[in-house]
Structure 1
Amino acid sequence: MTLTSQPDQTHSPVEVKSKTVDAMGSTGLGHIRPEALEGLSAESMMCLENFARYQTEPVADYGKVRQAAVLVALFQKEGDDKLHVLLTTRAKTLRRHPSQTALPGGKVDPEDPDVVHTARREAYEEVNLPLDHPDIHHLAILEPVMTILPLNALMRNHIIVTPVVCFISSPSLLEGLSPNPDEVDAIFTYPLKGCLTGTLNGEDAVGLSEAGEEWWPHEEEYHSTHDRIGATGGYRMHRFRTTRTPIKGLTSDVLVQTAMVAYGRSTSFDRYAPNQELFPVLIADIVRQLPEWLEKESLNAGSSKEVKVVEWGGTEGERYKCTETWATA
């Protein structure tokens, strides 16, 4: 559903950390008024309950690594029986990742009290999703992921991103959304389950971007992968076909993780490239090593005028130019 358009190898089964369920069988959704859950399918209720039971570790100290938060806003469409997620197409004028699919979100500002506020504030600024509304219900804070950089990119470009999940109980609320033209070209949605199965059915498979054209040049019908070598080693890029630009990169990493938590199982496809490290390991390594890298980058800044080519490595030893813009000096 387009809302507006303006100017594995799975290393292990999904780990869903559960909160204690009391003797009354509480699902953890007690903060949501009962009428807001009326009309939800059994599948959607299961997903919400899984989010409510999910529990992350206490917020870590990420040192000098930049931090951001994204909002995974879920809702059940009228006449449907599953959850969909709110997405945007980034403005063509943006310096980083123009015209790519994204979740509402951005960097954590010093004055933000927590990542929930960051994600909600950014969603308000980008698509006018209200900061405070009785039909928007917080569900969970998920395990952080991290941007995967190509070879030769400066290590300071790494960003740790925390997904914040909420449920919109009144889909009519989405009718009032509008894209901020400085940041967003369009607002659209995608079925969350598609990021678990790699397939689409029925109405979800209607109106997708044209196969063989710019937005979907891949042979696969709905889900494509590409293994590559980046600054932190092996990485499997996932791409999901949508009605606009594909879900890929960090956004796909967030939504694959979100779908696994929601449905309580692993993906139907191989999630990781061979020897790809899990995000908690990568994040710990970057947090530990970044101070040393920053010092080296500072020392080299005045001694070298060389502009390095930003490339990805191939699994057979080949190199190919990165299409993204990343600082090398």
Structure 2
Amino acid sequence: MTVQLAPESSIPNGHHKSSSDVLQHIPSKSLADLSEESLTCLKNLANYPTPPTTDFGLVKQAAVLVALFQKEGDDKLHVLLTTRAKTMRRHPSQTALPGGKVDPEDPDVIHTARREAFEEVGLPLDHPSIHHLTILEPVMTILPLNSHMKNHIVVTPVVCFISSPSILNDLIPNPDEVDAIFTHPLKGCLTGILDGTDSEGLVEVGGAWWPHEEEYHSTNDRIGTTGEYRMHRFRTTHSPIKGLTSDVLIHTSTIAYAQPTTYSRYALNQSPFPILISNVVRDLPFHIDKSVNSGPVEWGGTEGERFKSSETWAAGNA
């Protein structure tokens, strides 16, 4: 499927930076081999304004790195991903963007995301081929019913461009945190479709990693502690992109391509992340020391169904 790019100043939320060249911090030789599509995507992202700093109160915070690059012989941007180690307490064997908890000594979320990427896969902390583009609005983990409110995490995406993809060849997964390192085309998170070489080497349809009938993109609506939520899943060469990772990459792709998704993005009564985050920040102080019902941690369905959560941690755990 061909995606027609909108003009680089046409950002979905209407914001833009007033700059004659938003990529002027990147050496021209690092951009010379990019396709027009990739170049426009980078300009759209670099043109996206960093959101204002927000006080999230008692809510735990993390940052993830959306590291974009153009593969040799390709004409589109891909994103660096990992499969979390099966021994991890939270979200084992799930796809993730490099990232993790904001430490008190971190000067900003850019440092957090870059530090975590170094710790998890060895992406260099300081390299001339890694260029900062922007910071996106925070998203939040969506929890199943009967989860404790303190388990919410506000996650800030930090977007960068890797102009020399050869540095990815030297990445080594930290076995305590990462089982695999792989990549996926960003456009696939906008269209829900893969074609050409992007559709090769994917996990088997109906198999353990992709137990769905759909070819590339599957959704279902569920109800968690914050209300209705549409779970997106994208088929990859490894573990599927879903949950918070899919939310981040969907948003990144709409900014990069300056277009809405070609599929329905939200559940009928799904609230936007700023409202969900604001509500949790407001209410958490009144719940932080309270226990929750000891019943099963599960998702609700829009027709009143109940589905067991795949999470192994107990309700109320920090």
Answer whether TM exceeds 0.5 for this pair. yes
| Mapping of residues 61-140 of structure 1, within 5 Å | 61-140=55-134
In structure 2, C-alpha distance between the alignment counterparts of 1:122 and 1:43, rounded to whole Å? 29
SS of the residue 1:50 aligns to: helix
- Paired residue for 2:34, among 31, 40, 44? 40
CA contact (8 A) 1:196 1:267 kept: yes
Identity among equivalent pairs (%)? 69
Shift of 1:293: 1.4
Determine the C-alpha separation between the residues in 2 that align with 1:323 and 1:120.
29
Cα distance between partner residues in 1 of 2:315 and 2:92:
19
Give the C-alpha shift of residue 318 in structure 1: 1.1
Partners of 1:274 and 1:326 lie apart in 2 by 29
Alignment match of 1:315 (pick from 286, 293, 302): 302
Paired amino acid for 1:274: L
Structure 1: unaligned runs, 5 residues or longer: 1-12
5 Å-filtered alignment, 1:189-204, equals 189-204=183-198
1:183 aligns with 2:177: yes
Note the aligned Cα RMSD (angstroms).
1.2
The one-letter code of the counterpart of 1:102 is A
- Kindly tell me: are residues 228 and 201 of structure 1, through their superposed partners in 2, closer, same or farther at Cα, counting changes over 3 Å? same
Q: Distance in 1 between matches of 2:285 and 2:43?
A: 40
Instruction: Quote the Cα distance in structure 2 between the aligned partners of 1:294 and 1:325.
Output: 21
CA distance in 2, matches of 1:239, 1:294: 32
Q: Quick check: 1:157–1:326 contact (8 Å CA) kept in 2?
A: no
Moved over 4 A (4+): none
Quote the residue 1:19 is aligned against.
Answer: 17
TM-score, structure 1 length as denominator?
0.91
CA displacement at 1:328 relative to structure 2: 1.7
1:285 to 263, 269, 279: 279
The residue identity in structure 2 corresponding to 1:124 is F
Deviation at 1:16, TM superposition (A): 4.8
Aligned residue runs from structure 1 range 297-316, under 5 A: 297=290, 300=291, 307-316=294-303
Name structure 2 gaps, 5 residues minimum: 1-10
Determine the C-alpha separation between the residues in 1 that align with 2:12 and 2:43: 16
* Shift of residue 95, structure 1, vs aligned partner: 1.1
Show the counterpart of 1:239. Answer: 233
Q: For residue 324 of structure 1, report the CA deviation from its aligned partner.
A: 1.1
SS in 2 for 1:294: coil
CA deviation string 1:55-112 (max 9, x = no partner): 1331100000000000000000000000000000111111111111110000000000
d(CA) in 1 for partners of 2:216, 2:232: 11
Paired position in structure 2 for 1:3: none
Question: Superposition pairs for residues 148-187 of structure 1, below 5 Å?
Answer: 148-187=142-181
Q: Alpha-carbon deviation of 1:327?
A: 3.4
CA shift digits 1:205-241 (9 cap, x unpaired): 0000011111111111000001000000000000000
Aligned residues: 306
Amino acid of the residue matched to residue 117 of structure 1?
A: H
Aligned AA for 2:245?
T
Deviations 1:220-271 (A, max 9, x none): 1000001000000000000000001100000000000010111111000000
